Amino acid sequence: MKKWLLMILVGTALVLGACGGGDDDQTSEGGSSNGDAADAEAIYKSNCTACHGADLSGGVGPSLETIGASLSADEIADIIENGTGNMGPQNVSADDREVLSEWLAAKK
């Protein structure tokens, strides 16, 4: 029982420490769509992989491999900004949120 509780506490600490905390230095100005994809991947790796997996396959959070099939970029941006279910609002700049949500919306 104590091991289970310890695992839950450590897991929770890792998730809370890894989710959010966007790095505002990663924004690009006037980048091309290829630059936006690279930026989006960097933003994703900095903010989302702990919960959604490095390959979008999920983990603590749901898979995002085909998220664009069910949610628009605006809906994804709203979830990033305001949170949903167990996911709280993420500390990501408006520019990063836009790049990331457009990139995820293309995942169909």
For residue range 54-79, list pLDDT tens digits in order.
Answer: 999 999 999 999 999 999 999 999 99
CA atoms within 13 A on the CB side of 99: 26
Q: How confident is the model at residue 32, as a pLDDT? A: 43
Q: Could you tell me if 41 and 31 are in contact, meaning their C-beta atoms sit under 8 angstroms apart?
A: no
Residue 71 lies in a domain: yes
Question: Which whole number is the average pLDDT over 80-106?
Answer: 96
51 is in an annotated binding site: yes
Residue 95 lies in a domain: yes
Q: Could you tell me if 89 and 83 are in contact, meaning their C-beta atoms sit under 8 angstroms apart?
A: yes
Confidence of residue 29 (pLDDT cuts 50, 70, 90): very low
48 is in an annotated binding site: yes
52 is in an annotated binding site: yes
Residue 24 lies in a domain: no
Number of domains observed in the structure of the chain = 1
Domain extent, residue 45, equals 2-19+29-105
Residue 41 lies in a domain: yes
Q: How confident is the model at residue 34, as a pLDDT? A: 73
The CATH number assigned to the domain holding 99 equals 1.10.760.10
Q: Could you tell me if 90 and 22 are in contact, meaning their C-beta atoms sit under 8 angstroms apart?
A: yes
Is the model more confident about 37 or about 8?
37
Q: How confident is the model at residue 35, as a pLDDT? A: 77
19 is in an annotated binding site: no
Residue 44 lies in a domain: yes
For residue 19, which amino acid is it? C
The reported pTM is 0.69
Residue 88 lies in a domain: yes
